[in-house]
């Protein structure tokens, strides 16, 4: 068994659905039943995609629309002849709880997880007309619910499913009160936001609508009534009909949950407030289920804001297809988000609840066919119409498509914008809203709205200009600028430039007001003017930050400069990173502190190179501080600025900022650039001070491989008479003679002596240098004794070296001791030489004795001794025996020596062997060559001499030999 929806082909558009190919808002589709039934439908309900159908034979069909092929067929415990035909059913929004009422007053409860309806004993005989389900929508049990009866009684009940025979489903039942109006046709309970212990109750009868708000009692989980306190202590707000008609349908319905989750919820959002509708003999009274204010005022406001759709307006439509003589009373109603759907005989009529206009009026049922119910699935927002044999679904398509127009006509512009689906609609709403605000004189409010509209730009701008509304014009231009895409370059540049002009004019106006201490308007005093000035300046800065790409630099500079706005001009330049402009601006005005503040934030080396000269001249200390924090500068590019500064500097060398920076570059950054070092030497050498300590300290720090150009430094030092520095440079260049001569020419004897001691590895040169020093010392000395004492510092000079420099008429007594000491040294040297000669003679005699003893050395060779190379008997051919007792055949020894000796010696051995073997030499030459060959081959034992040491890397067992020979 299954359901199949199929559109009714003979049902034309009932109006209000839009034309031009747009589907109508409302349509009705007949659901094709894919199963057969043996009885008519007598009642129906829908909730949470579940349809419950009651048949006249007492059966109940539960159809899950998610699985329409599976239909549960449930029977009542007793036959219809015993309990009566099912009269009415009540299904909670979750489709978990079903209350079944029969015509003989029997009531049953069926849970979604059960197939066996259980009788409600405490409700036996109660003719139920309405049920208000618990707002928390529980599924295990109904929790506390309100039940309205046909006699006007209102009960509170608690129903839960039970499998135990002795337990009743209706946990408790309490009669809260009884209304004298007749049947309770509708009940609704909900909670109010932020007040979980408060409930709002709506009660409808045929003639009155009640609204109550109050706190619940202390009952919990069926332990006691929670609504008694509310109904006893609170006075309801009542809406009563003046002259109600008897025996007319009455019902209370609430709009379903909205399915639109794309819009944010807010307290003022009318679309998110649920609506109620009360069907009475006068028509349909409807309104929003407001949630504020709290207390009794809520009911009063809800009733006061409600509207009545007269029965004649709904049922009296003369739509095509209406049958003659059809009834005009309303049988049932349902609420969609924006429409009231009414069942009037065989027709479905849908009226917009905002305007009352009928948007759909169509005959649905066949002649003689009668509907048994109009049901709403509150959670799934679907609508169903049931007859005794058929099921219809009322389709709602984009019912808010024209709501924006209605809101616009009602001048509810914010609400209209919420329901505008296209940019054209939104632009039309904005235009109308702006016109409305302008008409009321609210130009600032209109500006923001116009900015989002499609109204002609020039028309809006002229409107604000003609009405002298610069603030509104500024707001409009800002809003309009935000609507243009990045591709609209010209439009964005023009509007942005215009805004700069407006900002400057506004700032000047406020400044003038503050200066003159005048009141800008009746509502703005000078103090408030200052606050507004800060706000406008902040707004300007935000605008520049956001739209700097839309501004032309030259235009902005010209506009702001024409207004004389220095702060704003510099802020713009700083924002667009035009630091050259800012620096140039401050430098031209000789505002060095401001220029340095800008320079601190720079990282572009070119900016530093460009402005370093002028800033070094006027703010050297601060500039050097900034330069020392920059790691990406090339110091050689700053040399012109440093030299220009040094040219005009007249202070002490320690205060020279150029020297300070160059020392930082050399010592901290480790620069090896010769230009930097030469510049530092130049500044040191050219300074007016005679003190050379700083220059010498630098030169000494450079060591043996200086980074500066020695020739350049030498010329500078000579030019500026830096004697010590020149001597140091000569020395570092190895030109000791020039260094000593320079020192002596300036009477720097001590310096000359230090330099003369430098060439320690060249004693002749050192002696030469000391002789020059000695000559200078002796010539300047008042006494020979003093000169000799000074010259004792050198260990190379002797008294005979100094005698030529003494004056012709000098008394020998002045250096008699030195002469005597020299003669004694000579005597000691002669004695030492004589002793060495005697020792040498004795050594020579000992060597002769050893050589003679060599002729008498011998070695004993045993008869069975073998060659240590070939292991054959040693006496079989010529052999050699060494003092270590190792013996070898001469040819075996020769081969081994050739293998291990160097290429030169090996070549000579082969030459000798070839010449001797081939007889190329004879006589004395042959004997000499044989002796040479024996000397080459038998110079050392190959097993225990240097030959053996060179073979340390060879393995004991070579490849191809028996490894077991070395086994232990």
How crowded is residue 326: how many other Cβ atoms within 10 Å of its Cβ?
12
Question: Which residue is it, tokens 């000494």?
Answer: 700
Predicted confidence at residue 942, as pLDDT, reads: 81
Band (271; pLDDT cuts 50, 70, 90): very low
Provide the CA 765 distance to its chain's centre, in angstroms. 73
Predicted confidence at residue 270, as pLDDT, reads: 37
State pTM to two decimals: 0.56
Residue 236 CA to residue 473 CA, distance in Å, equals 53
**Is pLDDT above 90 for 102?**
yes
Predicted confidence at residue 146, as pLDDT, reads: 96
Q: Is-contact 818 784, C-beta < 8 A? A: no
Q: What is the pLDDT of residues 552-588, one digit of tens each?
A: 888 988 988 888 888 888 888 888 877 778 777 878 8
Stretch 186-210: mean pLDDT, rounded? 92
Q: Is-contact 425 402, C-beta < 8 A? A: no
Band (334; pLDDT cuts 50, 70, 90): very high
Q: What is the pLDDT of residues 128-140, one digit of tens each?
A: 999 999 999 999 8
**Is pLDDT above 80 for 941?**
yes
Side-chain half-sphere exposure of 342, counting CA atoms within 13 A = 36
Spatial CA neighbour of 331 closest among 380, 364, 287, 378: 364
Residue 544 CA to residue 523 CA, distance in Å, equals 29
Q: Is-contact 867 879, C-beta < 8 A? A: yes
- To 5 degrees, how large is the angle CA 777–CA 780–CA 786? 60
Q: What is the pLDDT of residues 105-129, one digit of tens each?
A: 999 999 999 989 999 989 999 999 9
- Pick the residue with more confidence: 775 or 875? 875
Stretch 928-945: mean pLDDT, rounded? 82
Spatial CA neighbour of 716 closest among 746, 689, 686: 686
How crowded is residue 853: how many other Cβ atoms within 10 Å of its Cβ?
9
Q: Is-contact 262 285, C-beta < 8 A? A: no
Q: What is the DSSP letter of 524?
A: B
Residue 322 CA to residue 325 CA, distance in Å, equals 9
Predicted confidence at residue 217, as pLDDT, reads: 86
Residue 659 CA to residue 310 CA, distance in Å, equals 100
Predicted confidence at residue 42, as pLDDT, reads: 92
- Pick the residue with more confidence: 818 or 471? 471
In three-state secondary structure terms, 177 is strand
Residue 11 CA to residue 26 CA, distance in Å, equals 11
Continuous segment of H or E residues that includes residue 296? helix 296-305
Predicted confidence at residue 525, as pLDDT, reads: 67
Residue 494 CA to residue 457 CA, distance in Å, equals 12
Side-chain half-sphere exposure of 691, counting CA atoms within 13 A = 7
In three-state secondary structure terms, 750 is helix
- Pick the residue with more confidence: 351 or 860? 351
* String of DSSP letters for 526-563: HHHHHHHHHHHHHHHHHHHHHHGGGS-HHHHHHHHHHH
Residue 238 CA to residue 300 CA, distance in Å, equals 8
Tokens of 723: 């004697």
- To 5 degrees, how large is the angle CA 244–CA 247–CA 253? 75
- Pick the residue with more confidence: 415 or 664? 664
Residue 149 CA to residue 948 CA, distance in Å, equals 127
Helices 763-780 + 736-745 axis angle, to 10: 10
**Is pLDDT above 80 for 725?**
no
Tokens of 748: 């720097």
Question: Which residue is it, tokens 């160059």?
Answer: 662
Residue 633 CA to residue 726 CA, distance in Å, equals 32
Predicted confidence at residue 846, as pLDDT, reads: 83
**Measured in Å, how far apart are the chain's first and last C-alpha atoms?**
100
Question: Which residue is it, tokens 């070898």?
Answer: 888
Band (482; pLDDT cuts 50, 70, 90): confident
Spatial CA neighbour of 315 closest among 289, 288, 351, 290: 351
Predicted confidence at residue 189, as pLDDT, reads: 95
Q: Is-contact 69 59, C-beta < 8 A? A: no
- To 5 degrees, how large is the angle CA 671–CA 675–CA 676? 45
Helices 566-575 + 553-563 axis angle, to 10: 160
- To 5 degrees, how large is the angle CA 829–CA 830–CA 835? 100
Lowest mean pLDDT among 58-67, 273-282, 883-892: 883-892
Predicted confidence at residue 702, as pLDDT, reads: 81
Sequence-distant (≥ 6) Cβ neighbours of residue 457 within 8 angstroms: 480
- To 5 degrees, how large is the angle CA 149–CA 154–CA 155? 100
Provide the CA 778 distance to its chain's centre, in angstroms. 84
Predicted confidence at residue 663, as pLDDT, reads: 85
């Amino acid at each position: 068994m299954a359901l199949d929806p199929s559109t009714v082909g003979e049902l034309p558009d009932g109006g209000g659905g839009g034309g031009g190919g747009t589907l109508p808002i409302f349509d009705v589709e007949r659901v094709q039943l894919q199963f057969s039934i043996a009885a008519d439908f007598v009642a129906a309900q829908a909730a949470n995609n579940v349809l419950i159908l009651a048949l006249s034979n007492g059966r109940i069909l539960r159809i899950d629309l998610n699985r329409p092929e599976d239909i549960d067929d449930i029977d009542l415990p007793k036959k219809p002849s015993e309990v009566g035909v099912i009269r009415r059913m009540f299904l909670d929004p979750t489709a978990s709880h079903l209350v079944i009422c029969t015509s003989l007053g029997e009531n049953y409860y069926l849970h979604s997880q059960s197939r066996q309806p259980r009788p409600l004993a405490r409700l036996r005989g109660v003719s139920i007309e309405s049920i208000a389900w618990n707002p928390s929508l529980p599924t295990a049990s109904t929790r506390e619910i309100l039940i309205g009866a046909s006699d006007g009684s209102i009960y509170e009940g608690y129903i839960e499913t039970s499998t135990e025979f002795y337990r009743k489903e209706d946990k408790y039942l309490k009669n809260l009160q009884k209304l004298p109006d007749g049947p309770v046709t509708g009940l609704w309970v909900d909670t109010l936001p932020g007040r979980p212990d408060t409930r709002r109750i709506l009660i409808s009868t045929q003639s009155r609508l009640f609204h109550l708000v109050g706190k619940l009692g202390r009952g919990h989980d069926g332990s006691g009534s929670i609504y008694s306190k509310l109904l006893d202590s609170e006075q309801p707000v009542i809406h009563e009909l003046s002259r109600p008609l008897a025996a007319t349908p009455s019902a209370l319905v609430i709009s379903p949950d909205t399915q639109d989750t794309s819009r944010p919820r807010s307290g003022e959002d009318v679309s998110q407030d649920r609506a109620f509708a009360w069907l009475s003999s006068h028509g349909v009274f409807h309104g929003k289920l407001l949630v504020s204010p709290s207390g009794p005022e809520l009911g009063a406001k809800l009733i006061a804001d409600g509207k009545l759709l007269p029965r004649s307006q709904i049922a009296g439509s003369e739509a095509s297809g209406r049958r003659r003589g059809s009834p005009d009373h309303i049988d049932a109603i349902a609420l969609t988000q924006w429409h009231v759907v009414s069942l009037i005989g065989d027709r479905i009529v849908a009226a917009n609840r905002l305007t009352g206009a009928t948007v759909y009026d169509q005959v649905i049922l066949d002649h003689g066919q009668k509907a048994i119910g109009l049901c709403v699935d509150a959670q799934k927002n679907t609508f169903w119409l049931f007859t005794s044999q058929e099921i219809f679904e009322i389709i709602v398509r984009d019912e808010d498509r024209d709501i924006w127009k209605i809101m616009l006509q009602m001048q509810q512009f914010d609400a209209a914008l919420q329901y505008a689906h296209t940019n054209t609609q939104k632009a039309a709403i904005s235009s109308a809203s702006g016109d409305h605000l302008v008409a009321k004189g609210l130009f600032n409010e209109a500006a923001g709205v116009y900015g989002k509209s499609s109204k002609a730009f020039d028309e809006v701008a002229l409107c604000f200009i003609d009405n002298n509304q610069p603030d509104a014009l500024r707001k409009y231009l800002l809003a309009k600028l935000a609507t243009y895409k990045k591709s609209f370059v010209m439009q964005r540049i023009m509007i942005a430039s215009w805004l700069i002009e407006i900002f400057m004019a506004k700032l000047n106006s406020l400044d003038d007001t503050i200066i003159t201490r005048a009141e800008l308007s009746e509502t703005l005093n000078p103090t408030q003017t200052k606050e507004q000035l800060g706000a406008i300046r902040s707004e300007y800065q935000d605008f520049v930050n956001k739209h700097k790409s839309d501004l032309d630099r030259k235009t902005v500079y010209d506009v702001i400069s024409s207004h004389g706005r220095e702060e704003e001009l510099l802020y713009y330049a700083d924002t667009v990173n035009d630091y050259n402009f800012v620096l140039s601006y401050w430098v031209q005005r000789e505002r060095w502190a401001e220029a340095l503040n800008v320079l601190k934030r720079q990282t572009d080396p070119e900016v530093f190179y460009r402005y370093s000269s002028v800033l070094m001249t006027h703010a050297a200390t601060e500039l050097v501080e900034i330069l020392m924090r920059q790691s990406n500068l090339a110091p050689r590019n700053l040399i012109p600025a440093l030299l220009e500064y040094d040219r005009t500097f007249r202070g002490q060398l320690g205060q020279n900022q150029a020297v300070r920076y160059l020392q930082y570059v050399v010592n901290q950054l480790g620069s090896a650039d010769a230009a930097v070092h030469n510049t530092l030497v130049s500044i040191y050498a050219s300074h007016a001070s005679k003190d050379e300590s700083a220059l010498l300290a630098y030169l000494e720090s450079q060591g043996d491989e200086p980074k500066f150009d020695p020739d350049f430094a030498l010329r500078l030092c000579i030019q500026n008479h830096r004697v010590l520095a020149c001597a140091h440079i000569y020395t570092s260049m190895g030109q000791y003679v020039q260094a000593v001569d320079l020192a002596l020419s300036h009477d720097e004897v001590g310096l000359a002596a230090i330099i003369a001691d430098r060439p320690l590895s060249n004693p002749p040169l050192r002696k030469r240098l000391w002789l020059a020093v000695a000559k200078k010392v002796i010539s300047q000395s008042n006494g020979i004794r003093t000169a000799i004492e000074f010259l004792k510092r050198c260990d190379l000079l002797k008294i005979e070296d100094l005698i030529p420099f003494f004056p012709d008429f000098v008394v020998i007594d002045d250096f008699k001791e030195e002469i005597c000491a020299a003669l004694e040294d000579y005597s000691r040297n002669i004695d030492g030489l004589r002793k060495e000669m005697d020792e040498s003679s004795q050594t020579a005699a000992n060597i002769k004795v050893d050589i003679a003893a060599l002729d008498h050395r011998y070695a004993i060779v045993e008869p069975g001794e073998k060659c240590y190379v070939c292991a054959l008997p040693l006496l079989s051919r010529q052999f050699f025996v060494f003092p270590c007792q190792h013996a070898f055949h001469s040819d075996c020894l020769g081969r081994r020596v050739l293998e291990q000796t160097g290429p030169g010696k090996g070549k000579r051995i082969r030459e000798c062997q070839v010449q001797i073997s081939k007889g190329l030499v004879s006589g004395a030459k042959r004997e000499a060559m044989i002796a040479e060959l024996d000397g080459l081959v038998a110079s050392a034992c190959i097993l225990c001499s240097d030959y053996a040491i060179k073979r340390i890397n060879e393995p004991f067992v070579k490849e191809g030999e028996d490894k077991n020979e070395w086994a232990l």
